[in-house]
Every structure is written in structure tokens, then in C-alpha cells.
């Protein structure tokens, strides 16, 4: 099981707002495989009733439902939560994929977007992101001017185990690993710039190929988080889903930038000589890392 968190038992459940019975079962199954509990609301009215009675970690919101659709429900939930001073991330789950559709979701007060059918790894990535934002909300509240709701700041989770340096050093040796990391960082930076251009030009094939090269490089080094993101970008480019591709590209940029220091720790320079992780003072990924 690929759990969202080792401590997922204490998390509030996910509210799945969906009128289709089969889609409900699929969503519950995916969430259970991620180690999360779920509750179902069959339409927007039931969703409002649910949030008035308990807290949820995330809301997965279908857009088109009878009685009250996802757009109306989200606007109502945001108004209720603004009056209470709390905030629950809402992720739209819909077959609509155009840029106008995404903007309509954001204008209604939703935070993110998932295309149907739901992909398990992408669902995990989105929930991981918004759970981290919910934690940040406790320390850094900002007022969302669109709806007057308190909205958590956006910050991607840094993967502290992006690379297993001990395993890589044992396999490649320090000097060879240093050279590999230098090449990896240079090529990934170059590919990110190329992908940005390809997305701007809406060149699906070129974006797919550049993402595939980066995914292969990430896989070779065991950078699983980045490899998954490049895989998502490949799939979005093949579907010509430019909304999802652009959003995934932003996640790639943030993940690469936030993990850059960790990558540089493995590069041998005069300022950063080789060091032994067996030394008592060298716990973690860097000799200057403060043990947690």
C-alpha cells in the first residue's frame, strides 16, 4: 500500500462528492489504497450538510451533479468556512479539461483539478500537496480576495529522501556519483527550459519527448518524486491537456528547485569535499544538515 502518510490513521476523512455509484466505489478504493478513509456525498446539498457536521482533510468535488452541482456547492462551502475561519482544500474531479473549465473551477473557490478517470499516483500527489498546505494554514493564513475565505499558502512538500545517497555511493562510488549528479542537474535544468517552451507552443510531441528524457534520468538515479511528475507531464502532453500539463510543470519546477541543495550535497567540489556518512556528525543528507 502506498500510503499518503505513515500517520494517516489520525487524518480526517476525505469527502467524495459524486453522484455516480461506480465512480464513488472507484474513489473509495483508490483512497483506501492510499491509507485514507472516505465519506460519500451524492450531491452538493449533501456535501454542505456533511461539512456542517464534521471536518474533512480534503474534498474531492464532482462538477456536474443533480440538485446542486459542484460549482454551487463549492461557493457555499467557502462562504460557510469564511464565517467560521477554517478552510478545506477542494479538488475538482471532472471530465472537463479545457482551460475555461479549469478557470471556472478556480473562480468557484476550488483549489486544484483532477481529470477523470482518476490516476492513483496523481491523486496521491495532489492530496499530499494539499495536506501539506493544510498544515501550513495553521501557521500562515492569508485571505483569499476572491471569496473572503482563509486560504492556505501554496508550497510543495520537499522529499527529504529524494535520493538514497548511501545506496548510490555504494553502487557508483563518490567520484562517479558526483559526475552523474552534475550531469543530471545540468540536463534537467535544460529540459525544464525546453519543456517550458514546448508547453507555451503547445507542441505535445516535443513536450512528451523532453519529459521522457528527464523521467529516464530521474529513474536511473532513483529520484522517484521527480520521475512521477515527469510521467504525469508525459501523459498530459499526449492527451493535449494543457491545463494539467502546465500545473504539473509548475510542480516539477518547485520540486527541482526545493531539492537542489540536496542534489548539490553529492557533488564533490573544493567547497564541498567528500564526507563519510558514518561519522557521528554527518547524519542526514549533508554535513551541515541539522538532525531532526
The secondary structure of residue 10, as a DSSP letter, is G
**Does residue 17 share a domain with residue 141?**
yes
| 253 phi and psi angles, rounded to 5 deg | -60, -45
- Domain extent at residue 234: 165-265
Degrees (nearest 5) of the Cα angle 116, 121, 127?
A: 85
Same domain, 17 and 117: yes
Do 127 and 25 share a structural domain?
yes
Overall pTM > 0.85: no
Q: Could you tell me if 127 and 188 lie in one domain?
A: no
What per-residue string of b and e applies to 252-264 under the rule 16 or more CB within 10 Å gives b?
bebbbeebeebbe
Query: Are 16 and 39 in a shared domain?
Result: yes
For residue 79, what is the domain's CATH number? Answer: 3.40.50.2300
- Rounded CA gap, 78 and 110, in Å? 9
Q: Which of 130, 152, 174 is the last residue of a domain?
A: 152
Number of domains making up the chain: 2
Between CA 142 and CA 219 the distance in angstroms is 37
- What pLDDT shows up at residue 284? 33
Shortest CA distance to 150 belongs to which of 85, 97, 200?
85
Residue 272 placed within a domain = no
Q: CA-to-CA distance for 19 and 263, rounded, in angstroms?
A: 45
User: Do 137 and 175 belong to one domain?
Assistant: no
288 falls within a domain = no
Is residue 139 domain-shared with residue 174, that is, in the same domain?
no
Residue 283 lies in a domain: no
Q: Write down the pLDDT at residue 181.
A: 84
Within-domain flag for 215: yes
In a domain, 248, yes or no: yes
Residue 285 located in a structural domain: no
pLDDT of the residue at 279: 39
Q: Is 68 helix (H, G, I), strand (E, B) or coil?
A: coil
The tens-digit pLDDT sequence of the chain (292 residues) is: 455 544 445 578 999 999 988 889 988 988 988 888 999 999 999 999 999 999 999 999 998 898 899 999 999 998 898 888 788 899 998 877 666 777 788 788 888 888 878 888 888 888 887 876 544 444 434 334 334 444 443 333 444 456 677 777 777 777 777 888 888 888 899 999 999 999 999 999 999 999 988 888 887 777 777 888 888 888 888 888 888 888 889 888 888 887 777 777 666 554 455 444 333 333 333 323 333 3
Pair 121, 21 in one domain: yes
Look at residue 82 and tell me if it is in a domain.
yes
Task: Identify the domain boundary among 105, 124, 152.
Answer: 152
pLDDT attached to residue 146: 37
State the Cα–Cα distance between residues 8 and 56, nearest whole angstrom. 13
Helix H or strand E segment including 205: helix 204-221
Amino acid at each position: 500500500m502506498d500510503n499518503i502518510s505513515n500517520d494517516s490513521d489520525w487524518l480526517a476523512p476525505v469527502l467524495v462528492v459524486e453522484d455516480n455509484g461506480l465512480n464513488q466505489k472507484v474513489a473509495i478504493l483508490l483512497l483506501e489504497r492510499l491509507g485514507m478513509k472516505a465519506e460519500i456525498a451524492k450531491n452538493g446539498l449533501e456535501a454542505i450538510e456533511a461539512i456542517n457536521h464534521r471536518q474533512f482533510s480534503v474534498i474531492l468535488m464532482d462538477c456536474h451533479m443533480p440538485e446542486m452541482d459542484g460549482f454551487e456547492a463549492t461557493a457555499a462551502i467557502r462562504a460557510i468556512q469564511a464565517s467560521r475561519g477554517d478552510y478545506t482544500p477542494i479538488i475538482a474531479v471532472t471530465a472537463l479539461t479545457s482551460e475555461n473549465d479549469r478557470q471556472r473551477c478556480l473562480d468557484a473557490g476550488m483549489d486544484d483539478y483532477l481529470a477523470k478517470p482518476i490516476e492513483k499516483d496523481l491523486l496521491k500527489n495532489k492530496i499530499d500537496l494539499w495536506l501539506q498546505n493544510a498544515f501550513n494554514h495553521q501557521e500562515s493564513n492569508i485571505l483569499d480576495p476572491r471569496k473572503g475565505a482563509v486560504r492556505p499558502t501554496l508550497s510543495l512538500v520537499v522529499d527529504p529522501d529524494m535520493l538514497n545517497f548511501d545506496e548510490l555511493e555504494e553502487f557508483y562510488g563518490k567520484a562517479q556519483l558526483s559526475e552523474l549528479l552534475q550531469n543530471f542537474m545540468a540536463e534537467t535544468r535544460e529540459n525544464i527550459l525546453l519543456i517550458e517552451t514546448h508547453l507555451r507552443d503547445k507542441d505535445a510531441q516535443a513536450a512528451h519527448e523532453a519529459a521522457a528524457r528527464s523521467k529516464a534520468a530521474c529513474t536511473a538515479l532513483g529520484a522517484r518524486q521527480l520521475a512521477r511528475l515527469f510521467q504525469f507531464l508525459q501523459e498530459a502532453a499526449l492527451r493535449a491537456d494543457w491545463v494539467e500539463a502546465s500545473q504539473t510543470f509548475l510542480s516539477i519546477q518547485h520540486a527541482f528547485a526545493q531539492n537542489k541543495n540536496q542534489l548539490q550535497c553529492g557533488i564533490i567540489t573544493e567547497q564541498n569535499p567528500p564526507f563519510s556518512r558514518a561519522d557521528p556528525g554527518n547524519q542526514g543528507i549533508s554535513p551541515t544538515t541539522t538532525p531532526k
